Amino acid sequence: MADATLSHDAVHGLPGAYEAPLFGAYSKKVGMWLFLASDSLTFGALLFAFSYNRIYTAWPTPFHVQSIINSTIMTGCLLSSSLTMVMAVFAAQRSDRTWTRYWLLATMAFGTAFIVLHGMEWSKLIGEGLTLPVFPKPVHAAVGELADISKNTPQFSATFFGLTAMHMLHVTIGVMYLGVIAFRKWFLPVLGVLWIAGYVLIPSDNVFHYGIHALLIGLIVATVILFLKPKDYDAQDVEVSGLYWHFVDLVWMFIFPLVYLLSTKIT
């Protein structure tokens, strides 16, 4: 059996890389598909909750031109990141490490831009009164349309922040995932600096002061993985990370029209 395995590897020029495929795919790809199938149930439940409340509640339309422009730019960032992710997979299949890293870095840049724009949108909405009871209390009580929505239709705030926060967390995880694939241990100091900077610079009464700890958790997980099982990530790893990234982009294609476009009042 060992001789047969060695001969197979020798023929294919990939010593130690052979594994019996399941449904014509290698195990890492099958594992990612199974994870995405389970994760889709989470987003499906959140989308269903939002849709159910929209149908059976006097649903507000709080988003105006500025929010739609911002969310459209966010959508453009994610669509562009899908293209750069495809280019990264193609470069990895050509064994072109330099361009694989460049394309992954471009994907991370678009993902980071999405997170920053989403954070700006959240901060704007929270400042105008769209909040949850668990958010830090503002110094001055907000008044206006969004404050009335939080008071009279709390389902909107709960489903909006729950759905978009879950998606933003997935994008953040995706950026860290690609950073590990592209730069391995060199990416750990970057995560550490970003976490310290965020912890120091973001005010403690800002909701994102708590969210910055996602970077610390990612740093710990990435450190454990990279030091317990160090390796050079190959084309299969890039392709698997691409599956995750495309899934995150696909989910936003449901969130954008359902949450933003159908809750818009153009004035």
Instruction: For 79-138, write each residue's pLDDT tens digit.
Output: 999 999 999 999 999 999 999 999 999 999 999 999 999 988 998 888 888 888 878 776
**Tokens 């724009």, located at residue:** 117
Buried b (16+ CB within 10 A) or exposed e, 140-151: eeeeeebeebbe
Residue 243 lies in a domain: yes
How high is the pLDDT of residue 149?
85
How many structural domains comprise the chain? 1
Which has the minimum average pLDDT: 42-46, 50-54, 79-83, 146-150? 146-150
Average pLDDT of the chain, as a whole number: 85
**Full residue range of the structural domain in which residue 225 is found:** 26-263
Q: If DSSP codes are grouped into helix, strand and coil, which group holds residue 128? A: coil
For residue 186, the 8-state DSSP code is G
Distance CA 176, CA 195 (A): 12
Distance CA 216, CA 218 (A): 5
Mean pLDDT throughout 49-67? 86
pLDDT at position 165 over 60: yes
∠ Cα 150 200 105 (to 5°): 90
pLDDT at position 14 over 50: no
Distance CA 58, CA 30 (A): 43
Cβ-based neighbours of 182, under 8 Å, separated by 6 or more = 100, 101, 104, 105, 108
- How distant is the alpha carbon of residue 61 from its chain centre? 26
Distance CA 231, CA 95 (A): 16
CATH number of the domain at 63, please: 1.20.120.80
Residue 49 lies in a domain: yes
Residue 137 lies in a domain: yes
How high is the pLDDT of residue 124?
87
CA terminus-to-terminus distance, the chain: 73
Residue 2 lies in a domain: no
How high is the pLDDT of residue 21?
55
DSSP one-letter string for 81-123: HHHHHHHHHHHHHTT-HHHHHHHHHHHHHHHHHHHHHHHHHHH
How high is the pLDDT of residue 10?
40
How high is the pLDDT of residue 134?
79
Read off φ and ψ for residue 192, nearest 5 degrees. -60, -45
Residue 14 lies in a domain: no
Q: Between 97-127 and 154-183, two packed helices, what is the crossing angle to 10 degrees?
A: 160
Evaluated on CA atoms 183, 186, 191, 194, the torsion sign reads negative
Residue 236 lies in a domain: yes
Residue 219 lies in a domain: yes
pLDDT at position 7 over 60: no
Residue 38 lies in a domain: yes
pLDDT at position 264 over 80: no
Q: Model confidence over 185-238: pLDDT tens digits?
A: 999 999 999 999 989 988 877 888 888 889 999 999 999 988 888 777 888 999
Mean pLDDT throughout 1-23? 44
The two three-digit tokens of residue 100, written as one number: 């694989």
Predicted confidence band at 11 (pLDDT cuts at 50, 70, 90)? very low
How high is the pLDDT of residue 24?
54
**C-beta neighbour count of 95 within 10 angstroms:** 9
Distance CA 95, CA 224 (A): 27
Percent of residues, the chain, with pLDDT higher than 70: 87
How high is the pLDDT of residue 66?
86
Distance CA 104, CA 174 (A): 11
CA distances from residue 211 to 132, 168, 223 in whole angstroms, order as listed? 15, 10, 20
